[in-house]
Amino acid sequence: MIPNIIPVLSKAERIALFVAAVTFFVSGSIVASFYYLDSTTVTEARGGEYREGVVGQPVFINPVIPVTEADRDMSRLIFGSLYDIATSIKRSEDGKTWNVRIQEGWKWHDGKNITSDDVIFTLGIIQNKDARSYLYSSFQGVEAERISELEIKFRLQAPYAFFEDEHIKTLMVIPKHIFGDSEVQNLRFSKFGLNPIGFGPYKAVDFEHDDRGVIQTFRLIKNDDYGNLPAGRTDGQTKKPNIAGFIFKFFHTEKELVSAYNSGQIDGFGLNSAENLVVSTDSKFKGKDAINIRHNVHELKSSRHYAIFINQGLGGKELKNIKVREALSRSVDRQLLVKEALGSYGSVIYGPTVLTMEKSGSYDPLLLNGLELAIVVPDESFLVKTAEIVKTTWERLGAKVELSVLPLKAVQEDILRNTNYEMLMFGNIAGASNDLFSFWHSSRRFYPDQNLSLFQNKKVDAMLEAFRKDFDETTRTERLRALSDAIAAEHPAVFLYSPDYVYISTPNLGGFSDLKIVNNSSDRFLDIVSWHLKTKRVWK
Of 76, 56, 94, whose CA–CA distance to 172 is shortest?
A: 76
Q: What is the pLDDT of residue 437?
A: 93
Q: What is the pLDDT of residue 194?
A: 95
**How many degrees, rounded to 5, is the angle at CA 493 between CA 487 and CA 499?**
100
Strands (E), 272-318: 296-300, 304-310
Of 329, 313, 537, whose CA–CA distance to 446 is shortest?
A: 313
Residue type, 212: R
Q: What is the pLDDT of residue 12?
A: 75
Q: What's the CA gap between 199 and 178, in Å, rounded? A: 13
> Can you count the helices (H) and strands (E) in the chain?
15, 19
Q: What's the CA gap between 150 and 114, in Å, rounded? A: 8
Q: Residue 155: count other Cβ atoms within 10 Å of its Cβ.
A: 13
Q: What is the pLDDT of residue 285?
A: 43
- Cβ contact 137:226 at 8 Å: no
Residues 6+ apart with CB under 8 A from 254: 55, 271, 276
Per-block average pLDDT, block size 10, for the chain (540 residues)? 60 74 76 65 84 96 94 96 93 94 94 97 95 89 96 96 93 96 89 95 95 95 83 59 96 91 95 67 51 88 94 82 96 96 93 90 91 96 96 97 95 89 94 90 88 95 95 92 96 96 94 89 93 79
Instruction: Report how far apart, in Å, the C-alpha atoms of 501 and of each of 131, 300, 494, 529 are.
Output: 29, 5, 22, 20
Q: What is the pLDDT of residue 16?
A: 75
Of 72, 37, 182, 48, whose CA–CA distance to 124 is shortest?
A: 182
* Element of type H or E holding 402: strand 400-406
- Cβ contact 159:98 at 8 Å: no
Instruction: Report how far apart, in Å, the C-alpha atoms of 490 and of each of 343, 439, 456, 495 are.
Output: 30, 14, 10, 12
- Backbone torsion region of residue 236, taken as left when φ is above 0, otherwise alpha when ψ lies between -120 and 50, otherwise beta: left
Q: What's the CA gap between 510 and 500, in Å, rounded? A: 20
Q: What's the CA gap between 309 and 319, in Å, rounded? A: 11
Q: What is the pLDDT of residue 234?
A: 43
- Cβ contact 407:384 at 8 Å: no
Q: What is the pLDDT of residue 20?
A: 78
Q: Which residues pair with residue 145 across a beta bridge?
A: 153
CA atoms within 13 A of residue 493's CA, in its CB half-sphere: 30
Strands (E), 47-195: 49-55, 86-91, 97-102, 142-148, 151-156
Q: Residue 242: count other Cβ atoms within 10 Å of its Cβ.
A: 23
Q: What's the CA gap between 66 and 74, in Å, rounded? A: 10
Q: What is the pLDDT of residue 29?
A: 72
